[in-house]
Amino acid sequence: MDFTLSDEHVQVVKVVHDFCNREVAPLIKEADRSQSMPPGFLPRMGELGLLGICIPEKYGGQGFDYITLGLVCEELEWMDTSLRVVMSVHMGLNSLALLQWGTEEQKQKYLVPQARGQKFGMFGLTEPGVGSDVASMASTARRDGGDYILNGEKMWISLASKANHILWVARTNPENPDPHEQLSAFIVETNWPGVTRGDIHGKLGVRAGSTGWVSCQDVRVPSENRLGLEGEGFKVAMSCLDNGRYTVGSGAVGLIRASLEASLSYANTRKAFGKEIGKHQLVQQKIARMVRDYELGRMQYLKVGWMKNQGLRNTKETSLLKWFATDASFEAANEAIQIHGAYGYSDEYDVERYLRNARGAIIYEGTSEIHQLMQAGYALGYRQDSPLRCELPAFDENTWHA
């Protein structure tokens, strides 16, 4: 297992870093204040190839490996969480699901334009009354000839008002005694009759991102838009979360780094009691913890990326990454505010935004409590991952660039 970054990895990180510094940094503070995503962010990320970074070239992507996806997410969240959220939703929760589960026709119709940044994807799992208990969702899709009639509402959906396609999970087989086998997944186009959507405002964090709701009222979905077999919706959704959690965890490592860098800069210039505050041991303790958590989180996401490259199941390792890194990022941002003192409580400095942004990741894509239960279940032998009919393809440089 070699975690040495290739020249291509280094170059991609530089491209993303330059994009963040030159094009995002001048706008992000005002975007957060106005609670709106600048209209140029999504198209620009598409132009840079980020929205198809680890999709094979034959499907419109850049053909990089899964480690590259983690590196991109770290760099984007180093600037602002809203940028990483785009990768989590468009790539982790939607496009990689199409790569894993989609038919060739579905890949050509939906994956190719998404990988090229011409269309945007989102993921519909959470509902107004359903979060962690996925099997209890209320959305339904009943057969009607060769189509399905879809009804339901999804809530807290990132890119709700921006995306062109939503991967929607609904109940199709209510008579099945196993509630996990009652669900199916569908690709729904947001311009179809019966689809409505809107934004949610007043969020604590990720204010520069798009979050909203999507409703389907008697939406006719062709059977060829079902992703996977009927009854495989739960498995599709869980595989999506494996990929989404990888992007959330690697992104959270970037937020730890941002908090650390801001703290180092302030601690080396601010003086108290006749010396720089960085020379006080309690401040050093806070910074040392950030260093520790950054290194541990980065090693874990590189490990998960390596496992994905090998085609290895990584649900356990990805859960651990997501749990650790998101908790650590919130703690790092909180300590960064403490180091900044009263200035940290003001949006004059970025650390207060880091804290607000970090809080959401402890909730979405599996709460910290869910991941604690998962890790305990693995350790005690109570939990075993069920086999999937389709696995995310291992990275093969020859075929990825074919």
The residues annotated as belonging to the active site are: 365
Residue 111: partners with Cβ closer than 8 Å, 6 or more residues away: 55, 59, 60, 95, 98, 99, 102
C-beta separation of 153 from 127 below 8 A? yes
Report which of 276, 138, 273 is spatially closest to residue 215, judged by C-alpha positions: 138
How would you write the chain as a 3-class SS string?
A: CCCCCCHHHHHHHHHHHHHHHHHHHHHHHHHHHHCCCCCCHHHHHHHCCHHHCCCCHHHCCCCCCHHHHHHHHHHHHHHCHHHHHHHHHHHHHHHHHHHHHCCHHHHHHHHHHHHCCCCCEEEECCECCECCCHHHCCCEEEEECCEEEEEEEEEEEECCCCCCEEEEEEECCCCCCCHHHCEEEEEEECCCCCEEEEECCCCCCCCCCCEEEEEEEEEEEEHHHEECCCCCHHHHHHHHHHHHHHHHHHHHHHHHHHHHHHHHHHHCCCEECCEEHHHCHHHHHHHHHHHHHHHHHHHHHHHHHHHHHHCCCCHHHHHHHHHHHHHHHHHHHHHHHHHHHHHHHCCCCCHHHHHHHHHHHCCCCCCHHHHHHHHHHHHHCCCCCCCCCCCCCCCCHHHHCC
For residue 83, what are the CA distances in angstroms to 49, 219, 322, 329, 346?
14, 31, 17, 16, 22
For residue 341, what are the CA distances in angstroms to 45, 277, 302, 353?
35, 11, 34, 15
Calpha distance 44→24 (Å, rounded): 10
